Amino acid sequence: MGEIALPNGIGNGNSINGVNGQSQSLNGYRKSCWYEEEIEEDLRWCFALNSILHTGASQYQDIALLDTKPFGKALVIDGKLQSAETDEFIYHECLVHPALLYHPSPKNVFIMGGGEGSTARELLRHKTIDKVVMCDIDEEVVNFCKSYLVVNKEAFRDTRLEVIINDARAELEARDDESYDVIVGDLADPIDGGPCYKLYTKSFYEFIVKPKLQQGGIFVTQAGPAGIFSHTEVFSCIYNTLRQVFKYVVPYSAHIPSYADIWGWVMASDSPLDLSAEELDLRMRQRIKGENRYLDGKTFSSASTLSKTVRKSLDNETHVYTEEAARFIHGHGKHA
């Protein structure tokens, strides 16, 4: 649920990400154009804009690219900020590098979603990688990001990257003769009416994802907000769902400033996920081109040490994510 408010508190009259309305300021005057996102029913997060660079819509989602004052260029889909220029490296380093570092020698990777290109960019920094398949359902989003997100242009041109426009489930099912060292879930959040919630279910993990992993393979997915109050939306049940399918499951989280919350990821495998901070650092030096801006061994040790509140909640979670018993974060997709 995103809304653009112009100076003097007057909405711009256009529907941005499916929301149309007016926004009033407390003092009756705003010096800037503002973007406002509804985090919860009684909580909104807003920041000033330099400009609205582009808005559009596909058959699946509404899309906007905003030039924000605090976070630079920001990609917004279905009224939810997906990534921002100044801090997207935190999200993408956390999503990609732990799984690839825990794997002894990852060569081929399948990305579910990832149309922005940043996940592919981080994967392709690994020297062992021979092939990355990026499968996103929305060609409009992929083309949009190719055109507007300069930081990922080299990744899209890399010959090791294969870009497929398809539903990730259908694509994995169709690739009978292929399996992967790592599968990455860089999907949009599960929201009511969104295109992705079925790819967070136990049946999908058990019958589609796991059989496509090679021996020792690792699956990792973004898992939504993971703060003290927000982790019960989807993070805890995604974690519990993966516990029903894989032998070893590691939840971890980090603060993403532009998300206005702690964010969560879950890594899962049938092989042990147990490396020291020193071993992670050594593998980073040996395998990754360039230096991470956020993630190192100690940072991951901290990220995977959850607070007492969240830890107890995850231990006690009993909900299993299914199509019939789905959980959603706050918001509505285009087809809700």
Catalytic residues: 186
Q: How far apart are CA 271 and CA 209, in angstroms?
A: 15
Residues forming beta bridges with residue 136, ordered by sequence position: 165
Helix residue ranges per DSSP H, the chain: 88-102, 118-123, 139-148, 153-157, 168-174, 202-204, 235-243, 277-287, 297-303, 308-316
Q: Is residue 224 within 8 Å of residue 39, measured between CB atoms?
A: no
The separation between CA 19 and the C-alpha centre of its own chain, rounded to angstroms, equals 22
For residue 134, what are its two tokens? 């990026």
Q: Is residue 137 within 8 Å of residue 165, measured between CB atoms?
A: yes
**Nearest CA-CA partner of 188 in 83, 270, 285, 85:** 83
**Nearest CA-CA partner of 205 in 187, 225, 192:** 187
Give every CB contact of residue 119 below 8 A, 6+ residues apart in sequence.
Answer: 92, 95, 96, 111, 113, 134, 184, 186
Which residue is it, tokens 């790819």? 199
For residue 319, what are its two tokens? 């909900």
Q: How far apart are CA 132 and CA 1, in angstroms?
A: 33
